[in-house]
Amino acid sequence: MNKDLFTVSRRKFLLAAAATALAPPLTLKASKRKLGPNDKLNHACIGVGGMGWGDLQNFAKHPKVNIVALCDVDETRLKKAAEAFPNARTYTDWRELLEKENSNIDSVNVTVPDHNHFAIAIQAIRAGKHVYCQKPMCHDVVEVRVLTEAAVKAGIVSQLGTQHASGKGDRTAVQWIKEGVIGKVKHAYLCSNRPGAIDHYRLVGPRPTEGQEPPSTLHWDLWIGTAPPRPFVPDIYHPTKWRAWQDFGTGWSGDIGCHIFDAVWKGLGLKAPKTVIAEVQKSWEDSPERRGDTWPQGDHITWTFPGTKLTTRNLTVEWFDGEFYPPEEIRALYSVQDYPAESAMLIGTKGALLIPHTGMPVLLPGDKFKEYKTPELEERNHYHHFVDACLGGPKTESHFAQSGPMTEAIILGTVAIRVPGKRLEWDAANLKIPNAPEAEKYLSRIYRDGWQIAGL
Per residue in 229-271, pLDDT (tens digit) is 999 999 899 988 999 999 999 999 999 999 999 999 999 999 9
Q: What is the pLDDT of residue 27?
A: 56
Q: What would be the CATH architecture of the domain defined by 166-208+236-379+412-435?
A: 2-Layer Sandwich (3.30)
Equal CATH topology for 3-165+385-399 and 166-208+236-379+412-435: no
Using CB atoms within 10 A of its CB, is residue 133 exposed (0-12), middle (13-18) or buried (19+)? Answer: buried
Angle, helices 75-84/51-60, rounded to nearest 10 degrees: 20
162 compared with 450, residue with greater pLDDT: 162
pLDDT of residue 206: 82
Distance CA 173, CA 151 (A): 27
Please determine, for residue 6, whether its predicted confidence score (pLDDT) is greater than 90.
Answer: no
Cα–Cα distance list, 177 to 76, 82, 264, 345 (Å): 46, 44, 8, 12
- pLDDT confidence of 294, banded at 50, 70, 90? very high
**pLDDT (average), residues 20-47:** 72
Asked if 120 contacts 96 with a C-beta cutoff of 8 angstroms, the reply is: no
Is the pLDDT at 21 greater than 70? The verdict is no
pLDDT of residue 31: 66
- Is residue 331 predicted with pLDDT exceeding 70? yes
Four-CA torsion 88, 102, 448, 212, nearest 10 degrees: 10
Of 154, 82, 93, nearest to 119 (Cα)? 93
Domain boundaries, the chain: 3-165+385-399, 166-208+236-379+412-435
In this prediction, residues 366-370 reach a mean pLDDT of 95
CATH number assigned to the domain covering 3-165+385-399:
3.40.50.720
pLDDT confidence tier of residue 38, bands split at 50, 70 and 90: confident
pLDDT at 4 over 70: no
Which is nearest to 27 in space by CA: 114, 143, 127? 127
> Across the chain, what does the average pLDDT equal?
92
- Residue 309: pLDDT over 60: yes
Q: How confident is the model at residue 29 (pLDDT cuts 50, 70, 90)?
A: low
Greater pLDDT, 90 or 7: 90
Task: Report the alpha-carbon distance of residue 433 to residue 443 in Å, rounded.
Answer: 10
pLDDT number for residue 207: 84
Residue 47 pLDDT > 70, yes or no? yes
pLDDT value for 449 = 87
* Angle 426-202-249 from CA coordinates, rounded to 5°: 50
CA dihedral 132, 134, 139, 142 (to 10 degrees): 30
pLDDT digits (tens, 9 = 90+) for 93-144: 999 999 999 999 999 999 999 999 999 999 999 999 999 999 999 999 999 9
8 A C-beta contact, residue 258 and residue 407? yes
Strands annotated E in 47-98: 65-71, 89-91
For 373-422, write each residue's pLDDT tens digit: 999 999 899 999 999 999 999 999 999 999 999 999 999 999 999 999 99
DSSP element (H, E) containing 122:
helix 117-126
Query: Which parts of 181-240 are beta strand (E)?
Result: 185-192
AA identity, residue 294? T
pTM: 0.93
Q: What is the pLDDT of residue 196?
A: 78
Residue with the bigger pLDDT between 250 and 28: it is 250
- Rounded distance, CA 1 to CA 85, Å? 46
Residue 1: pLDDT over 60: no
Q: What stretch of H or E contains 11?
A: helix 10-18
